[in-house]
Structure 1
Amino acid sequence: MNFDSHTSDVVAAAVRAINLLTPGHTRGREYTATGYDDYADRSPEEVEELRAYAMGLRSVFAAVDDGRVDDACTTVNTILRDFQAAPFLTRHDGEPWHLHFHAPDASWARSHIASMATGLAVVLGNPMHDRLGVCTAPACDRVFVDVTRNGTKRFCSTACQNRVKTAAFRARHRD
């Protein structure tokens, strides 16, 4: 499922930020989300600001996964309002004109969250909103966007899928 290039890119960035910056479990292990390696070009303060907002975005995926689309939409609307997300065209860094969804003077983290919330709003306003999910593997709560053709993805990664399938195989052969 490809919503459009901009929406798909910012929703993928939201998944990345949520999965890297929020604690929980991943691939059967506890995940503390204390590293900054993937955001090495940003200051620790900027990453911490993004981490605080990523928790709110995580709740959007969890709500959709639980069938609480109204709650997800309410959360996204609150973020959009709080961050004053509004579209404007800009050109920078040798790129052509393109849309941004944040105040021109917003901090790095606030600009990313405003864009991510806008991308999630586009997804939630789409019949394919159920493509947002939380991994169903035991001891994993990472989020994902189901981009498969048939919309049946249940795991955040091939590693989690293989872990579950291997456990089921071993259980069948033990009996």
Structure 2
Amino acid sequence: MVFADDTSIALQAAVTLANTGLAPDTLTTVADLDRFFADFEYTGRHDRDRAELEAVRGVRDRLRRLLTSDRDEAVEQVNAMLREYDALPQLVRHDHLDWHIHAVGPERPLHERIIVETAMAMIDMIRADEMSRLDICADDDCEGVVLDLSRNRSRRFCSAACGNRNAVAAYRARQAAGA
């Protein structure tokens, strides 16, 4: 299933944000938030202060719960999020992006826009019955969320670090078995 670009980006941003809360925490400074904002091409209000950082950090657990829930639970959470922030989906076009959906205005706080954009992206996942594209990292020592948008659904690890650690462990196990 190929999702619209705004859906894919919103899901990738939500997974990345949810995973920043794992040890070690990788969203601790305003500069970290600035990088996140730029990496996922957010537009609109960006206060660049500690209060905004803390508000964004505060939504990580909520996003993680959404991203790791089953389909029916996800529906309840998405509907609650959209109601909470009075989401009104509208088509917009700006910068280099073609028509896509925004459901809250650009003046709204960043954490609200993140929640609503994630909820809107999850609507596509739920309607397409593609919740299986979200999982927990296959590394036994990791609780990271994995978003698999590949055609063959082969992604098992939340990051290259987890994938590499498991590949090295498997290699060493094969070497030990052969010795």
Relative to the length of structure 2, the TM-score reads 0.78
| Structure possessing the higher relative contact order (Cα contacts under 8 Å, 6 or more residues apart) | 1
| Aligned mates of 1:98, 1:52 — CA distance in 2 | 26
| Structure 2 portions without partners, runs of 5+ | 35-45
- For the residue of structure 2 that corresponds to 1:31, the secondary structure is coil
Aligned-pair CA distance for 1:46: 1.0
Identical amino acids, percent of aligned pairs: 33
Q: Aligned to 2:121, which of 105, 113, 119?
A: 119
Letter in 1 for 2:145: V
Within 5 Å, give how 1:1-175 maps onto structure 2.
1-20=1-20, 22=21, 24=22, 30-36=23-29, 37-40=31-34, 42-63=48-69, 68-90=70-92, 98-103=100-105, 105-175=107-177
Aligned-pair CA distance for 1:110: 0.8
| Aligned mates of 1:98, 1:172 — CA distance in 2 | 48
What whole-Å deviation, never above 9, does each CA across 1:138-159 have from its counterpart, x for those lacking one? 2222223102211121111222
| Aligned mates of 1:134, 1:167 — CA distance in 2 | 19
| Aligned mates of 1:136, 1:145 — CA distance in 2 | 12
| Structure 1 portions without partners, runs of 5+ | 25-29
Letter in 2 for 1:146: D
| Aligned mates of 1:160, 1:98 — CA distance in 2 | 33
The answer to whether the 8 A contact 2:92-2:99 is kept is yes
Instruction: State how many pairs are aligned.
Output: 164
Aligned-pair CA distance for 1:14: 1.2
